[in-house]
Amino acid sequence: MRWLITGAGGMLATDLAGLLDDAVALSRAELDIRDKDAVTRAVREHRPDVIVNCAAWTAVDDAERHEEEALAVNGHAVANLASTGARLIQISTDYVFDGTARVPYAEDAPTRPVNAYGRTKLAGELAADGHVIVRTAWLYGASGRNFVKTMIRLERERESVSVVADQHGGPTWSADLARYVATLADAPPGVHHGTNAGQTTWHGLAQEVFTLLGADPARVKPIPASDYPVPAPRPAYSVLGNPRLRDWREALGEAFVEIQAGLVAGQQP
């Protein structure tokens, strides 16, 4: 099975490339997925059976002011990858939902994004029609910036941190997601939810990080989202049903060891 991974260097792509060690992993400098001719050339050269599209505009707040540019990557470019003849695994997001639900969203629940990033990712889902779409959420891992690494840093720097306690989601370890994606080469087309099971809030996730650090979780203070204004509104509840991966706490416990080891080895938190 020949794999091609786009967006190499990103958090998920790094874990996936580490797992599929004979995969071709191309960074943005090596393959800009917006360039249809470049996509055609890459597919002709590497002849992949499966393309995993890990490339994305992931700056959720910046997307509010740059929606067209975000759409070019998250929406239009996906059409370039969907029409090569290779199978496509398109990575999508819980932010395609509006957050008004109170039970986990089914794969076929109606979508209604509340921010620009979500709208562009939904356009990507539509462009990947007929292929495999894996929605994930609240990703963290050993590479790249992410919430878990930020909390590890803030525990060192501050006596207390205030964290949003009224947004609910499913924190997901990128390495668990990579292992799941690696099983999907022959999966039937359609939407698959790829998150760790269970749910918490950003506050709950931060408290768990503090606990793993041996710090007092009461140093993490709960605040409403309205006290932490950001350009892009977030859904208040974006838990995905049928999550496929193990419980989020168990995953975080194992991830924590790897992330700490990486930090000791000099990766930026």
* Shortest distance, position 128 Cβ to ligand NAP, whole Å: 11
* Shortest distance, position 197 Cβ to ligand NAP, whole Å: 16
Q: Can you tell me the distance from the alpha carbon of 74 to that of 87, in angstroms, rounded to the nearest whole number?
A: 18
- 50: closest CA among 20, 9, 93, 94? 20
Q: Can you tell me the distance from the alpha carbon of 257 to that of 168, in angstroms, rounded to the nearest whole number?
A: 25
Residue 91, H or E segment: strand 87-93
Among 80, 111, 136, 200, binds ligand NAP (CB under 6 A): 136
- 56: closest CA among 144, 130, 129? 144
9 contributes a contact to ligand NAP by CB under 6 A: yes
Is 105 labeled as catalytic in the residue annotation? Answer: no
171 contributes a contact to ligand NAP by CB under 6 A: no
132 contributes a contact to ligand NAP by CB under 6 A: no
169 contributes a contact to ligand NAP by CB under 6 A: no
With contact defined as beta carbons under 8 Å apart, do 248 and 137 qualify? no
Q: Can you tell me the distance from the alpha carbon of 244 to that of 177, in angstroms, rounded to the nearest whole number?
A: 9
Integer CA distances (angstroms), 248 to 156, 161, 201, 256, in order = 24, 22, 12, 12
Using the contact rule CB under 6 A, the part of the chain among 44-52, 53-61, 101-109, 227-235 near ligand NAP is: 53-61
Q: Which is nearer to ligand NAP, 160 or 228 (CB)?
A: 228
91 contributes a contact to ligand NAP by CB under 6 A: yes
Q: Which is nearer to ligand NAP, 56 or 163 (CB)?
A: 56
Q: Which residues contact 260 (CB under 8 A, 6 or more apart)?
A: 152
- 156: closest CA among 205, 111, 84, 215? 215
Q: Which is nearer to ligand NAP, 144 or 243 (CB)?
A: 144
Among 55, 181, 205, 255, binds ligand NAP (CB under 6 A): 55
Q: Enter the tokens of residue 264.
A: 């000791």
* Shortest distance, position 1 Cβ to ligand NAP, whole Å: 21
195 contributes a contact to ligand NAP by CB under 6 A: no
Q: Which is nearer to ligand NAP, 13 or 165 (CB)?
A: 13
Q: Can you tell me the distance from the alpha carbon of 96 to that of 87, in angstroms, rounded to the nearest whole number?
A: 23
Q: Which residue has the tokens 């070019």?
A: 72
Among 80, 93, 115, 201, binds ligand NAP (CB under 6 A): 93
Looking only at the bridges linking them, the beta strands covering 168-169 and 200-201 are antiparallel
* Per-residue binding letters, 144-163, with ligand NAP (x by CB under 6 A): x-------------------
Using the contact rule CB under 6 A, the part of the chain among 52-60, 100-108, 217-225, 260-268 near ligand NAP is: 52-60
138 contributes a contact to ligand NAP by CB under 6 A: yes
Which residues in this chain contact ligand NAP in the complex, by CB under 6 A? 6-7, 9-12, 28, 32-34, 54-58, 73, 77, 91, 93, 121, 136-139, 144
Catalytic residue list: 117
